[in-house]
Amino acid sequence: SGIIHLAKQIVSANGLDDKITLIHGKIEDVDLPVDKVDMIISEWMGHALLHESMLESVIVARDRFLKEGGLMLPDKANIWMVGVEDMNYRRDKMNWWKDVYGFDMSSITPSVQAEPIVDMVPLHSICTKTCQLRSFDLHTATKADLS
Protein backbone atom coordinates (compact mmCIF):
# COMPACT_ATOMS: atom_id res chain seq x y z
CA SER A 1 0.00 0.00 0.00
CA GLY A 2 1.14 3.55 -0.68
CA ILE A 3 0.51 4.68 2.90
CA ILE A 4 4.07 3.68 3.86
CA HIS A 5 5.44 6.47 1.65
CA LEU A 6 3.18 9.07 3.25
CA ALA A 7 4.05 7.79 6.72
CA LYS A 8 7.77 8.18 5.95
CA GLN A 9 7.18 11.76 4.83
CA ILE A 10 5.24 12.53 8.00
CA VAL A 11 7.92 11.01 10.24
CA SER A 12 10.64 12.96 8.44
CA ALA A 13 8.69 16.24 8.37
CA ASN A 14 8.35 16.03 12.14
CA GLY A 15 12.01 15.23 12.79
CA LEU A 16 11.30 11.78 14.17
CA ASP A 17 13.48 9.70 11.83
CA ASP A 18 15.74 8.74 14.74
CA LYS A 19 12.80 7.64 16.94
CA ILE A 20 10.32 5.96 14.58
CA THR A 21 11.12 3.05 12.29
CA LEU A 22 8.57 2.15 9.61
CA ILE A 23 8.55 -1.34 8.12
CA HIS A 24 6.49 -2.28 5.09
CA GLY A 25 5.18 -5.83 4.75
CA LYS A 26 2.79 -8.43 6.13
CA ILE A 27 3.24 -8.69 9.88
CA GLU A 28 3.33 -12.48 9.60
CA ASP A 29 6.40 -12.19 7.33
CA VAL A 30 8.44 -9.28 8.67
CA ASP A 31 11.33 -9.30 11.08
CA LEU A 32 11.85 -6.26 13.26
CA PRO A 33 15.21 -4.71 14.11
CA VAL A 34 14.23 -5.10 17.80
CA ASP A 35 12.78 -7.99 19.80
CA LYS A 36 9.82 -6.11 21.25
CA VAL A 37 7.99 -2.82 20.69
CA ASP A 38 6.37 -0.38 23.14
CA MET A 39 3.27 0.27 21.05
CA ILE A 40 1.24 -1.13 18.16
CA ILE A 41 -0.94 1.30 16.22
CA SER A 42 -3.23 -0.35 13.71
CA GLU A 43 -6.14 0.42 11.43
CA TRP A 44 -7.60 -3.01 10.79
CA MET A 45 -11.38 -2.64 10.96
CA GLY A 46 -13.69 -3.77 8.19
CA HIS A 47 -17.46 -3.45 7.73
CA ALA A 48 -19.26 -4.62 10.87
CA LEU A 49 -15.82 -4.56 12.50
CA LEU A 50 -14.72 -8.03 11.38
CA HIS A 51 -15.66 -8.29 7.70
CA GLU A 52 -12.44 -7.97 5.67
CA SER A 53 -10.62 -6.96 8.83
CA MET A 54 -7.03 -7.67 9.74
CA LEU A 55 -7.63 -8.35 13.45
CA GLU A 56 -5.95 -11.76 13.19
CA SER A 57 -2.80 -10.01 11.95
CA VAL A 58 -2.99 -7.55 14.85
CA ILE A 59 -3.15 -10.48 17.26
CA VAL A 60 -0.08 -12.01 15.58
CA ALA A 61 1.75 -8.67 15.88
CA ARG A 62 0.82 -8.36 19.54
CA ASP A 63 1.89 -11.91 20.38
CA ARG A 64 5.16 -11.65 18.46
CA PHE A 65 6.30 -8.13 19.17
CA LEU A 66 4.50 -6.22 21.94
CA LYS A 67 6.38 -5.74 25.22
CA GLU A 68 4.54 -6.79 28.36
CA GLY A 69 2.47 -3.78 29.42
CA GLY A 70 2.83 -2.24 25.95
CA LEU A 71 0.15 -0.07 24.37
CA MET A 72 -2.23 -1.08 21.61
CA LEU A 73 -4.18 1.58 19.76
CA PRO A 74 -7.03 0.95 19.49
CA ASP A 75 -7.13 -1.35 22.52
CA LYS A 76 -10.85 -2.18 22.52
CA ALA A 77 -13.38 -2.89 19.81
CA ASN A 78 -17.15 -3.28 19.99
CA ILE A 79 -19.84 -4.39 17.58
CA TRP A 80 -23.17 -2.63 18.04
CA MET A 81 -26.42 -3.19 16.19
CA VAL A 82 -29.48 -1.01 15.74
CA GLY A 83 -32.51 -1.39 13.49
CA VAL A 84 -32.93 1.20 10.76
CA GLU A 85 -35.82 1.83 8.38
CA ASP A 86 -35.66 4.49 5.68
CA MET A 87 -37.71 3.45 2.68
CA ASN A 88 -36.88 6.62 0.71
CA TYR A 89 -33.12 6.20 1.23
CA ARG A 90 -33.25 2.55 0.15
CA ARG A 91 -35.39 3.34 -2.90
CA ASP A 92 -33.05 6.15 -3.95
CA LYS A 93 -29.95 3.93 -3.57
CA MET A 94 -31.45 1.09 -5.59
CA ASN A 95 -33.19 3.22 -8.25
CA TRP A 96 -29.92 5.09 -8.91
CA TRP A 97 -28.64 2.04 -10.81
CA LYS A 98 -31.51 2.32 -13.33
CA ASP A 99 -29.98 5.51 -14.74
CA VAL A 100 -26.26 5.97 -14.12
CA TYR A 101 -25.48 9.01 -16.27
CA GLY A 102 -27.78 7.67 -18.98
CA PHE A 103 -26.82 3.98 -18.69
CA ASP A 104 -29.16 1.26 -17.38
CA MET A 105 -27.04 -0.62 -14.86
CA SER A 106 -29.97 -2.12 -12.93
CA SER A 107 -28.56 -5.64 -13.37
CA ILE A 108 -26.00 -4.77 -10.69
CA THR A 109 -28.74 -4.06 -8.10
CA PRO A 110 -28.79 -7.58 -6.52
CA SER A 111 -25.02 -7.41 -5.97
CA VAL A 112 -25.29 -3.95 -4.44
CA GLN A 113 -28.07 -5.08 -2.12
CA ALA A 114 -25.85 -7.88 -0.78
CA GLU A 115 -23.08 -5.47 0.26
CA PRO A 116 -23.08 -3.38 3.43
CA ILE A 117 -23.61 0.35 3.05
CA VAL A 118 -21.39 2.66 5.05
CA ASP A 119 -23.21 5.93 5.47
CA MET A 120 -24.59 8.38 8.00
CA VAL A 121 -28.00 7.40 9.36
CA PRO A 122 -30.47 10.14 10.26
CA LEU A 123 -31.66 9.82 13.84
CA HIS A 124 -35.31 9.55 12.71
CA SER A 125 -34.44 6.33 10.79
CA ILE A 126 -33.42 4.41 13.91
CA CYS A 127 -36.34 2.24 14.99
CA THR A 128 -34.93 0.00 17.75
CA LYS A 129 -32.74 0.24 20.83
CA THR A 130 -29.00 -0.31 20.40
CA CYS A 131 -27.55 -3.68 21.29
CA GLN A 132 -23.88 -4.54 21.84
CA LEU A 133 -23.21 -7.84 20.07
CA ARG A 134 -19.51 -8.35 20.79
CA SER A 135 -16.69 -6.70 22.64
CA PHE A 136 -12.98 -7.36 22.22
CA ASP A 137 -10.09 -6.41 24.48
CA LEU A 138 -7.20 -6.33 22.01
CA HIS A 139 -4.69 -6.97 24.80
CA THR A 140 -6.21 -10.41 25.44
CA ALA A 141 -8.24 -11.38 22.34
CA THR A 142 -7.32 -14.62 20.60
CA LYS A 143 -7.99 -15.89 17.08
CA ALA A 144 -10.59 -18.24 18.57
CA ASP A 145 -12.49 -15.21 19.93
CA LEU A 146 -13.09 -14.01 16.37
CA SER A 147 -15.25 -16.95 15.30
Check 28, 43, 56, 68 and give the catalytic one.
Answer: 43
Provide the residue type at 84 as one letter.
Answer: V
Residue 1 has a pLDDT of 63
**Tens-digit pLDDT profile for residues 65-96:** 999 999 999 999 999 999 999 888 888 888 88
- DSSP string for residues in 100-122: BTTB--GGGHHHHHHS-------
Residue 45 has a pLDDT of 82
Task: For residues 25-52, give the mean pLDDT.
Answer: 86
pTM above 0.75, yes or no: no
Give Cβ neighbours of residue 125 (< 8 Å, ≥ 6 apart).
84, 85, 86, 89
Q: Which of 134, 109, 139 is nearest to 50 (CA)?
A: 134
Given a cut of 90, whether residue 136 has pLDDT beyond it is yes
**Catalytic annotation present for 43:** yes
Average pLDDT, the chain: 89
Q: Beta partners for 81?
A: 131
Task: For residues 48-73, give the mean pLDDT.
Answer: 90
Distance in angstroms (rounded) separating the CA atoms of residues 105 and 101: 10
Residue 43 has a pLDDT of 82
**Catalytic annotation present for 115:** no
Q: In the structure, what pLDDT confidence band is assigned to residue 121 with cuts at 50, 70 and 90?
A: confident
**Tens-digit pLDDT profile for residues 32-41:** 989 999 999 8
Q: Which of 56, 98, 96, 63 is nearest to 77 (CA)?
A: 56
